[in-house]
Structure 1
């Protein structure tokens, strides 16, 4: 069963545009809803209903159309930017649909260049070892999203879900105070007018039930009201690793797929980028498949292939051996790498974490001894 099917649209067969003869035959076989018609294979439907192959195809086509929250969009329309689908709660009228090229700026031209403008709508994963700077970049995006669209923002707030440590409020306040330094390309008065801390909604979830409740109840309300346009989960691996034993892999996979589907649905319906921070796992023999997003011979993103298939863009952030200096500051060098994305080549940029935030590095890097 496709996890993206809208569970609120499971219609009775009488509500579908079908020949009464087909509806009656399906009911005699106890196939009474659109969802039920899709959970039985075509040959089995023929056998239990006595309908022809053409009739069964008509039944399943009507059921699939009823269960989908949106009609499919041809790839050619997306390429031409001619898709005018409106998301609930966005206040978009006809002809003012979602821009398939929408990007959320990272606040740095070097890193935006790596991602062709910034974070796209969809599910993006940022993985890396502890101390690589993942949370720093996520906080920076929570500020960038509040800027006007003209300057790479989405003119809205962010939801930040913490599943591990407490929210780094002190660092956030420091970043807010340094926004004028980070975004020197913007008028200082524009930055000072924004009440950044008032538009970041922080949630702490201690278990999977709380996380699911947050994603399916509270976050959709904020998105529907237009209060937020960015969702950050820090981190996605923590709860799925701690609540399941190795023998529970089937149940963990089921919950993981449902969680990924819920995040993609939110991103799609509200044109909201979703960023999931992920932990890494050690690679023992270097035999991890490329599809898992292996970046080097030491670590790969956690949660395996089941989670990798939920992600549209996978980024990896790593701390390097060298260091860089800027004015009176010195920082450990990092790299931000594109592991896979449908619209990006696999490449990377050097960066560093400064008082004002994460910025790309284009100058000389000193190797520590």
Structure 2
């Protein structure tokens, strides 16, 4: 950026250049104390610098009424969604994950919930025109260790296989370097994480996606049956905080959830269908948590194998994704597999097993 174009004291501009600060983003990502240390400016000068930079940023991001009417701007578009990195799954969700609200992905162990979360963390870093948000993600683990090796594997495969994105663009994206990992094993640590760390990262523009894996683990051992009222209050408090963060920063919040067995008919009356597991399960945490959600997706691992592929010589296990509820989607489903390159949707008419 040409600092000389800003309406600032030449002394402050000289200090910025001497500190080798080259962009507005670098300045806004630093605290006041860090700016003082790097630029050797006084506290008053640093405050003046921040006000000038913020004012210039707001001036440059102004929109006309016609642009708003046409819904053309990437950052304000109401139709914008975060891609799942797969055209089949994006087609099921009519573009991907909404930018505001909480999206839940519920399913049994090994259904592919974590794989979808990791793929979203990579997709969010792509340019707007390719379904991303040009920003990083924060991944909050509440039970298992973060799968760093799997992320690295996905990073390498995605950078090789995304043929719809120019190679020059892919090389500029530092996959994995913009994913912040936090661990929270109890409710107090988790709430402090979203109230402080997540808020700071969002306010500084360093992340545009929050993934929680999983929300149910926080409540699994903390509460007895007699503590249902207290549990509901915690769920409402956490849900309200996540909603505020999502709506304030237009950031998707994706929560993985576990399931519990239930009595009754399974999800599909035809248990021979490839989209049926023959089991009847419901997401954990009950109606209190359900009321906090914008969209609920259920994922299942079936007993069917898809025809062997090049990266899966023994065949891939077929999994399904179902839209349980969403304000903008009908109840529908599609199939997918998990392989070396990530989560890959399969059209029903092409299935062989």
Q: 1:341 aligns with which of 320, 326, 339?
A: 326
Partners of 2:102 and 2:244 lie apart in 1 by 10
Partners of 1:331 and 1:308 lie apart in 2 by 32
1:1-369 equivalence runs, <5 A: 93=62, 98-121=76-99, 122-285=101-264, 298-324=280-306, 325-329=308-312, 330-362=315-347, 363-366=350-353
Partners of 1:133 and 1:319 lie apart in 2 by 8
Task: State whether residues 182 and 357 of structure 1, in contact with CA within 8 Å, keep that contact through their aligned partners in structure 2.
Answer: no
Gaps of at least 5 residues in structure 2 are 1-57, 65-72, 268-276
Report deviation, 1:100: 1.6
Aligned length, in residue pairs: 271
Partners of 1:147 and 1:328 lie apart in 2 by 24
Tell which deviates more after alignment, 296-305 or 226-235: 296-305
Which secondary structure does the structure 2 equivalent of 1:260 belong to? Answer: helix
Say if 1:285 and 1:357 are closer, same or farther in 2 by CA, change over 3 A.
Answer: same
Partners of 2:266 and 2:85 lie apart in 1 by 36
- Return the TM-score normalized by structure 2: 0.73
- Return the TM-score normalized by structure 1: 0.70
Report deviation, 1:92: 5.2
Match of 1:59 in 2: none
* CA distances 1:165-198 after superposition (whole Å, capped 9, x unpaired): 0100000000000013442221233212211111
Say if 1:209 and 1:240 are closer, same or farther in 2 by CA, change over 3 A.
Answer: same
Which secondary structure does the structure 2 equivalent of 1:196 belong to? Answer: coil
Report deviation, 1:128: 0.3
Report deviation, 1:296: 7.6
Task: State whether residues 264 and 280 of structure 2, in contact with CA within 8 Å, keep that contact through their aligned partners in structure 1.
Answer: no
Partners of 1:105 and 1:227 lie apart in 2 by 19
Partners of 1:347 and 1:234 lie apart in 2 by 24
Task: State whether residues 123 and 312 of structure 1, in contact with CA within 8 Å, keep that contact through their aligned partners in structure 2.
Answer: yes
